Amino acid sequence: ETDLYVGSTLVDVYATSGSLQDAMEVFRAMPERNIVSWNALVGGCVEKGLDEKALELLQQMQVEGVQPDEIAYVNIINACASLADLEQGKRIHGSLMLMDTKVSNLFIGNALVDMYGKCGSLIEALETFEKMSETDLVSWNALMCGYANHGQDHEAIESFKKMQEGGVPPDAISFLCLMKVCGSMGNIERGEEIHAQVSKRGLLKKDYIVGGALVNMYAKCGLFTRAREVLDMLPRRDVVSWTALISGYADQ
């Protein structure tokens, strides 16, 4: 109750471990709260999926005169993405621009691209991406997954090409987006290229989610022999990979 640093650390410990009730009790007992304690509580809410509570805390924080920092904005933008709250996300984006905050900041930029992509506002996702002074794999994945999840398959493939041309190596998330696109398009040729890259990186042995996505891709393309071959090769077969194959048979 008397030491700001100790109180903030306790809030962070409880929030990080998922004990949000304890985090809130410590937070309320603190006579003084700084941006660290606010960020710990807001971040904990976002992690636990309490996104509306996180937005309430942002308003309360500002009422108490605490100015959000980069971490706070990233947490709040992530909450808007989870809620698919495009209007609130746009307001946050607008606030950042009015305050002359560097929206080109990598972490804030990535969060905005992801938020616009999840909300289906793909023109704004691309505009934000193009205005960023620096991009990385997270930026590209946010853009590609936004396209893939909203049926803009050709744009997702073009983004993947540009990413590779720019020397950014794909990861499991990149491949998951592309396999989803190839399955929905029935693009067997591109799908087999992805399969080769995934195998070369050893992802089928390390990441069973990638394996399940590959089974799903072949099944959607009607290549059930290939789908079953991949399934049999997986070191771990879960309900998702089995269901992908069963659904493929059912669809045909």
Q: What does the pLDDT look like over 52-105, one tens digit per residue?
A: 999 999 999 989 999 888 999 999 999 999 999 999 999 999 988 877 655 558
What is the pLDDT at residue 46? Answer: 94
d(CA 20, CA 17): 8
Q: Greater confidence, 87 or 235?
A: 87
Least confident of 52-56, 97-101, 182-186, 209-213: 97-101
State what percent of residues in the chain have pLDDT above 70. Answer: 98
What is the pLDDT at residue 32? Answer: 86
What is the pLDDT at residue 4? Answer: 83
d(CA 152, CA 233): 31
- As a whole number, mean pLDDT of residues 188-211 equals 90
d(CA 66, CA 229): 57
Average per-residue pLDDT in the chain? 91
Residue 233: both structure tokens together: 């090769």
State what percent of residues in the chain have pLDDT above 90. Answer: 71
Phi, psi torsion values for 151, nearest 5 degrees? 75, 10
- CB burial of 149-166 (b: ≥16 within 10 Å; e: otherwise) equals bbebbebbbebbeebeee
Does 236 score more than 80 pLDDT? yes
Q: What is the pTM of this model?
A: 0.88
d(CA 155, CA 208): 27
| CB neighbours of residue 57 within 10 Å | 24
What is the pLDDT at residue 86? Answer: 96
Which amino acid belongs to residue 185?
Answer: M
What is the pLDDT at residue 101? Answer: 54
What is the pLDDT at residue 104? Answer: 56
Q: Is the Cα dihedral 133, 81, 16, 38 positive or negative? A: positive
**Burial zone of 59 (CB within 10 Å; 0-12 exposed, 13-18 middle, 19+ buried):** exposed
Does 207 score more than 90 pLDDT? no
